[in-house]
Chains A and B, each alone.
Chain A
Amino acid sequence: MSFKEIIDKVVADGAAYCDIRKEHWNKTSLTLKDGVPEMVAQGEEEGAMVRVFYGNGWGCVGTNDLDDIQETANRALTMAKKSARYKESETDLADIEINQDKIKIPMKEDFRDISAEEKLSFLKELEYNLSKNFVKSTDIRYRDSLVEKEIITSEGTHIQMEIPRLVAYLIVTGKSDTIQRASEGTGGTGGYEITEKTLDKTNVVLDRLETLLEASTPPSGKMPLIMDPHLAGVFSHEAFGHAAEGDLVASDNSCLKGKLGEKVASDIVTIKDDPTMEGYGSFPYDDEGTKTRNRVLVKEGTLNDFILDRENAWKLDLEPNGGARAEDFRVKPLVRMSNTIMEPGDMKFEELLEEIKGRGVYAKASSGGQVSPAQGTFQFNAQESYLIEDGEIVKPLRDVSFNGFTLDTLQNITGITDKLETGIGHCGKGQTAPVSDGAGHVLVSEVMVGGRE
């Protein structure tokens, strides 16, 4: 039976909706630790997920055994029927345009044509550039993946896509009185040409590590903070972007619930999530077959839109905008971000510095963080930071963390510089999604800095 026939049978058996998403993955990973190839792996896999919507319930079953999709569909229908017994509130899918399209994101240089030896020589070149006397250890990671997807729905949508992605990470460790670590990543949607950007990052991580090795522990207390574009990008993604995910909004798990059209940030703040721009988190159709578009989430301080899949768009009475993404065929699509950008402003970095009277912190790049979209709180750690006193950068700091309420912090943004820089990341929400984020330098008038002094 063809996928179309299987879908038709599920619908004939009473389902309101059914889709099948088939994926074929081709992946390569190389890791060079201290100059030694530690993990070299290559493989292909394929599988499919069948989603069935019956009554108000969902049943989603993934498999990597493509020989028996009919059985997989039967299981999904059984699961949806049982789920519907417990689901009292009405649910539906917001309408989308029925799309039939075949699209291939081009690779200028196809990474499948580059031999493993050549990829490894590139990593060795990076390693050579990172070999400095203050570097105790290096860890260089390269990953490329090409996914061929086919999405077929009971409504007639049929999308075929090829999406190539490439990412490389540089991690260096050094030791003074404590052990310090610096990292940088580059990546994008495209081919081997993306690696050109990686070479430029070697100096960035080396400078960062050298700075950290002579850095002091930070002060604690409330103070002004300048975030560099990478940290401000991560802030836009983590603290704000997650709260703008339609599933969290519709299920009362977001501090942005009920705030559409309200002021949630200072006037100079505009935040978008745009899967159609160039970036590591780009894709032309989402995993429900909805054509993607730019989502302006905050427009000059006012909450303007959410990131939406079809079900949550229906619940919130809004238009689906291509927000459904699944890590692979094993899992169902969730509402996810793509390329999240806080639009640049009109200030210069020096002007931001001049705004700081007394003590403040300049924090660069993120070393992780965690957020609670429901409570609207966040906690981040910066990789590299500096103490500012009366508009002057005084000394480097390490292990700086800061936290606060997202909405207060967005209102406290008083300056953004005019140059956008973007970074890449892997967003976790039970599933991993490749994303990018970016901003200019951003001044926050007050945030809680946690230190050890």
Chain B
Amino acid sequence: MSEKLIESAKEIIGKLKGRGLDGDVFGVNCRNVEYGIKKGELTDSSEYDDVGLGIRVLKDGKLGFGFCTPGYEEKGVKQAVEFSKVSQKIDLKFPEEEHVPKVETFDSKIEQVISEGKGADFTQELIDGCVSYAEDITPTMGGVEIYLGSEIVANTNGVLLEKKRTAMLGSVMATIPGEKTSITASEKEVSKKSDIDFKNVGERSAEKVDSMRNEVTLPEGDIPVMLESRSLNQLLGFGLIPSFNGENVRKGKSVYSDKLGEDVAHSHLTLKDDPTQDWGIGSSPFDDEGVVSRTLEFISHGILKGFMYDLKEAHKSETESTGNAIRANFKSPPDISERNLVLRGKDTPREELLPDGGILVDDIMGAHTANPASGDFSIVATPVWLIENGEKKGRIEGVMLSGNLPELLKTIQLADDYKKTYMSLGGRSLKLDTPSARVDDVIVSGK
């Protein structure tokens, strides 16, 4: 699959060396397959193949970028060289060859899933799981997504690395039609392996919406809050993680600028970026600049330990790259990003953490409107249940949560239901391994 890409990358590196230039190439060869559900049926089947290369060139100390598809290498190099003229001067050093760790990211069974068109069967399993639960529950949206791809990084220092990745995702939005408005709930499962029980994902979506039939009112007074991991993930991703970006730190746009080594969270809490985790959703042996992966601790036992850098920002901040360069596709230059976020700490069985007389928040709307610089957020929570004696006692509509993420980390209590997942929102995608959590320091308001 990737021979053509590797040949193309080698040709580009040869052309750069021939001109006495430093540079690197990031190449992608992937297939994305999608099956969509609408109104209880498989309605859409689509896939696309993408092959292409992003080229960075250092000319007269200035970094230019261009992209091309195989066969157009000369044009790509020419554009990158041309654009280097208007770029900044930067003394960028591309990585040297180094030992690359083994990280499990590729399941060959997924190749078979694609070639046999099994995604359509999996989609039907999602539907069957959902509709078998109750007569009036329909999967109105969702589907199956499958990814199979190879990415390479090559540079003029002789580095030539390849990583192969696979992933599958199944999601369902289950709906109960209503007079004024429908009741909906969704479930999603993501894995790097072909191991998702699609029928179960469908069943869980139906079970969830079934528990929302009765509407109850929000209790008065201070209300304890339990966030399912997907709500917590969105808040972390949009309200907190930008503060660990080395560029924001250098520019004073992070709440954690000047706080390295200080207590910033509860002493049990560790937040790290671990792309070396086997089968982690965002794991891979090296980043999109060819920097070898390692674990980066942001917070260790409550203490602020580090920030993330790509090559360019590391140079500006006078430090080393932490291997946090990510490219959205071959057409984009790298940007600083978390890769496989892992939240750990002293955990408590989920049942014990569920707040009696409090609320359980499954999902939130508007996490991307959180202020990335301050961590302040004010969002709508939905679906939300009232919890009594560890049971869901009905849904609550119109709940808003507001608070401050860095402050929440000081009192957060983690449950023991760790889950690897992926989410895409507001132009960003997050890959995480986190549990649900109890956060009592949020302001809960209702309609």
Contacts and interface: CB of A to CB of B under 8 A. Distances in A.
Contacts of A80: 45
B199 to A, nearest CB: 15
A41 B41 contact: no
Given A63-B49, A87-B42, A380-B366, A173 B69 contact: no
A17 to B, nearest CB: 15
Contacts of B88: 36-38
Interface stretch (A5-13, A43-51, A274-282, A345-353): A43-51
B214 interface: no
B169 interface: no
Contact of A86 (B123, B253, B374, B398): B123
Contact of B175 (A27, A252, A452): A252
Contact of B69 (A36, A45, A376): A45
**Is chain A's interface secondary structure helix, strand, loop, or mixed overall?**
strand
A258 to B, nearest CB: 11
A253 interface: yes
Contact of A42 (B41, B66, B255, B427): B66
A97 to B, nearest CB: 25
B349 to A, nearest CB: 32
Given A60-B45, A78-B117, A39 B333 contact: yes
Interface residues of B, number: 76
A443 B124 CA distance: 47
A252 B184 contact: no
A44 B72 CA distance: 10
A64 B182 contact: no
B65 interface: yes
A374 B182 contact: yes
A79 B85 contact: no
Nearest to B178: A375
B400 A64 contact: no
A131 interface: no
Contact of A331 (B48, B82, B175): B48
A332 B141 contact: no
A118 to B, nearest CB: 9
B181 to A, nearest CB: 5
Interface string A60-97: 11111100000000010011101101111101000000
A136 interface: yes
Contacts of B67: 41, 43, 45
Contacts of A61: 46-49
Contacts of B398: 403, 448
Nearest to B243: A179
A45 B82 contact: no
A175 B379 CA distance: 23
A370 B181 contact: no
Contacts of A173: 251, 253, 373
A70 to B, nearest CB: 14
B140 A369 contact: no
A41 B365 contact: no
A443 B32 CA distance: 45
A376 B79 CA distance: 47
A252 B39 contact: yes
Given A136-B253, A374-B184, A86 B331 contact: no
A34 B181 contact: no
Interface in A225-247: 247
Contacts of A59: 45-46
A306 to B, nearest CB: 15
A374 B140 CA distance: 10
A64 B52 contact: yes
B380 interface: yes
B184 A375 contact: yes
A224 B271 CA distance: 42
A44 B380 contact: no
For the complex of A and B, list the 3 residue pairs with the smallest distance between their C-beta atoms, beginning with the closest: A179-B373, A62-B48, A60-B46
22 contacts: A41-B66, A41-B67, A41-B331, A42-B66, A45-B68, A49-B48, A61-B46, A64-B51, A65-B49, A78-B117, A82-B117, A82-B120, A87-B42, A173-B251, A179-B253, A220-B402, A220-B445, A332-B44, A367-B369, A375-B183, A448-B400, A450-B379
Given A64-B49, A175-B252, A253-B173, 6 more contacts: A34-B251, A83-B45, A221-B445, A375-B183, A377-B365, A381-B378
